Amino acid sequence: MVKLFNKNPLSVVGVMSGTSLDGLDICLAHFEKKSDSWAYTIEAANTVPYSAEVKIKLSDIEKLTAWEISKLDYDYGHFIGKEVFSFLKQINRHADVVASHGHTAFHNPGMGYTFQIGKGAAIVAETGIPCISDFRAADICRNGQGAPLVPIGDKLLFTSYDICLNLGGIANISFDNVDNERVACDVAPCNMLLNFLSLQLGMEYDAYGNAGAKGMVNHDLLNRLNELEFYGLLGPKSLGREWFEQKVVPVFASCNASLQDKLRTAYEHIAIQISKSTAEISPGAMLVTGGGARNRFLVQLITEKVKHRVVVPENMLVDFKEALIFAFLAALFLNGTPSALASSTGATADSISGCLYL
């Protein structure tokens, strides 16, 4: 274990499952600390699509009994471990440690809890590699939001960008304030909302935004969305599926607009909220990643509304930046460096995120 904690450079497999349920992202990255800076390379990455059965289980967690959730925690951990083992075998590589975000089952920082399933011990059992998981709990226990955790990676790995915008199931941003503190917040539902409406149109998702672009903005619906209480709160603040289902879904359900117009309005809403969240930040470069960065219509709308230069990087970084940064959180853990920033989460103090399983 002393060798693991002191190893530099370090090879880490980052594993991420987002709220949009696209699949399991697996990324093998190398990290090297050079003086006060970090360097990274991505060696290989892959997304394992979820089967219909897994998608149903993950999307219906709130309907399960306590013992069913406990069993799913273990089962999903074994699933992650098997996929990581298969990934490393396929590329004929070894990793020093696995960093697993797991899949968020429940997230309610206001009530002082969060729960990401995917038992770290099960991942170790399947891979034979130490695993760091449960990254959000330390921050929650210090009265933080438990999210976002990506800002430390944005700050230390992507120093040439003024803003980092992630368009995942939920859109979130991070940037340095005037005091050089990294601040961040969730902005709005993103792919979670777009996929929810796309499914009603018979599509798993709206590829490139083609369906949404054909609709018309329903201004009554748009105003109701923009008036949701969350958007008036000061950061740090975070969103979860519970909020989406309780606050956003009913607004769409009570609107008589066509599905295509609802989808178009959702795009407009997301772009407006991103524009509002970045309005006070000095003009500069904005790095845009996550599944939504492949959605041309969404990126077009964002580009039109923000005052920053929008940069969509190569596909590898677009698709695997979150998995890369959770791998980085493991490197920080082993380096004894705090990764959950109080300036981003609202916690009473920074914390070293994660729990190590051997």
**Buried/exposed code over 210-239 (b: 16+ C-beta within 10 A; e: otherwise):** ebbbebeebeebbebbeebebbeeebbbbb
Other C-beta atoms lying within 10 Å of the C-beta of residue 36: 6
Cα–Cα distance measured from residue 70 to residue 5, given in angstroms and rounded to the nearest whole number: 31
CB 135 within 8 A of CB 150: no
CB 302 within 8 A of CB 288: yes
Rounded Cα distance, 65 and 94, in Å: 38
Vertex 17: Cα angle to 350 and 66 (nearest 5) = 85
What's the confidence (pLDDT) of residue 3? 66
Determine if residue 208 is left, alpha or beta; phi over 0 gives left, psi from -120 to 50 gives alpha, anything else beta.
left
Average pLDDT over the chain reads 94
pLDDT in tens, the chain (358 residues): 556 787 889 999 999 997 667 789 999 999 999 888 999 999 999 999 998 888 888 888 989 999 999 999 999 999 999 999 999 999 999 999 999 999 999 888 889 999 999 999 999 999 999 999 999 999 999 999 998 899 999 999 999 999 999 999 899 999 999 898 999 989 999 999 999 999 999 998 998 999 999 999 999 999 999 999 999 998 888 888 889 999 999 999 999 999 999 999 999 999 999 999 999 998 999 999 999 999 999 999 999 999 999 999 999 999 999 999 999 999 999 999 999 999 999 999 999 999 999 9
Domain residue limits, the chain: 2-145+322-357, 151-316
For the domain made up of 151-316, give the CATH fold.
Answer: Nucleotidyltransferase; domain 5 (3.30.420)
CA distance 152 to 65: 36
pTM for the full model? 0.87
d(Cα 41, Cα 5) in Å, to the nearest integer? 20
Residue 143, sorted as left (phi over 0), alpha (psi -120 to 50) or beta, turns out to be left
Report the 3 state secondary structure along 267-285: HHHHHHHHHHHHCCCCCCE
The CB-side HSE value for 119 (13 A sphere, CA atoms) comes to 13
Q: What strands lie across the sheet with 97-100, from one edge to the other?
A: 37-49, 23-34, 10-17, 97-100, 131-133, 355-357
- pLDDT tens-digit map of 247-288: 999 999 999 999 999 999 999 999 999 999 999 998 999 999
Handedness of CA 231, 237, 240, 245 (dihedral sign): negative
What is the tens place of the pLDDT at every residue in 181-202? 999 989 999 999 999 999 999 9
CATH topology of 2-145+322-357 equal to that of 151-316? yes
Nearest Cα neighbor of 49 from 81, 80, 13, 25 is 25
CA 152 to chain centre: 13
Quick one: angle between helices 120-127 and 66-91, nearest 10?
Answer: 30
Residue with tokens 């990934």: 87
Give the model's pLDDT for residue 244: 94
What CA–CA distances, in Å, run from 73 to 17, 69, 125, 186? Answer: 14, 6, 14, 26
Degrees to nearest 5, angle at CA 191 with 21 and 42: 70
Write the pLDDT tens digit of every residue in 334-352: 999 999 999 999 999 999 9
Backbone phi, psi, residue 238, to 5°:
-140, 160
**How many Cβ atoms are within 10 Å of 337's Cβ, its own excluded?**
15
Q: 19 to each of 90, 190, 239, 240, how far by Cα in Å?
A: 27, 10, 10, 8
- Is domain 2-145+322-357 classified as CATH 3.90.1150.10? no
